[in-house]
Amino acid sequence: MWTNISGAMSKTLLIAGLAVGLCSLTLNVLLGRALLAAFAELQYARIFPVEPPDGARSAGASAVTGTACIAMFGDSRVLMWGAGALGRECPVRNFGRGGFTSSQLLMQLQTVERPRTRWSIVQIGINDIHPIGALPDYKEAVLAGLHSNFAAVVGRLLQRSDFVIVSTIIPPGHVPLRRRLFWDPSTLAYVADVNQSIRLAARRDRIFLLDAAVLLKGSDGYLDPQYADSDFFLHINQRAYDVLNAAVLRILRSVPAETNTGPNNSTE
């Protein structure tokens, strides 16, 4: 009898050990892939801080050839922003880039020639804020830099567009467990503070506000789950883009077609 019990216990322990080992192996593989992806993204940003070489744009990037009346600038939230109804209103060119920070966008606008458009749309800032948990000693410098860079970005866009639509920063989705170790619990407060500055910037002549944060956030301040991307908590889904496109269309249609300003009328 004891022999049978002992044998059963040994078998159970063996199965449990194999299960723990398999879970550990799976977790290590997932972490290894995540580290590899993070390392590749970091090196890509270091080697191509402003723009990838011709023929090497990120997958999903929209074509940037031809004339347009709307130019879109920003990070991956812009890169993934399909024109949809906007494209039926007038041609759109998307200059978004995955992983972009406000410093990189400003550098892009300072160094890369772009054709003049009637409208510019900008959504930037989350990639400045979300790494603060890993850089606590630089928190104040990061936030000050974001405020300064955003003002400079808007000034640059006013030089190359008749009108600029500034988007508030879309809040992140709920933070997955694997990211919480390097996540600052005050991130939502940082986003809210920068968004107040963006709203103030929209009070200037020729600037319109797209309050994406208000449109897409849930009752707890994070991204509303109905707008969350299933693959990455900082991204949004097509339903969210439909909401944003509808709001942008209302802005576009609020300005008479004959209204125009020249490049010398910038309110920088």
Four-residue CA torsion sign, 85, 204, 172, 213: negative
Beta-ladder partners of 208: 165
The 10s digit of each residue's pLDDT in 33-89 is 655 555 555 555 555 666 665 544 444 444 444 568 999 999 999 999 998 888 888
pLDDT in the model for residue 263: 41
pLDDT value at residue 85: 87
Q: Are 117 and 68 in contact (CB under 8 A)?
A: yes
Q: Give the pLDDT of residue 180.
A: 85
Q: CATH classification of 51-265 is 3.40.50.1110, yes or no?
A: yes
Question: Which of 185, 137, 149 lies closest to 74, judged by CA?
Answer: 149
**Spans of the chain, pLDDT less than 50:** 55-65, 262-268
Q: Which residues contact 34 (CB under 8 A, 6 or more apart)?
A: 178
Domain borders along the chain are 1-47, 51-265
Q: Which tokens is 9 given?
A: 């216990």
pLDDT on residue 114: 83
pLDDT at residue 130, as a whole number: 95
* Whole-number Å distance between alpha carbons of 115 and 128: 27
Contact 229, 237 (CB under 8 A): yes
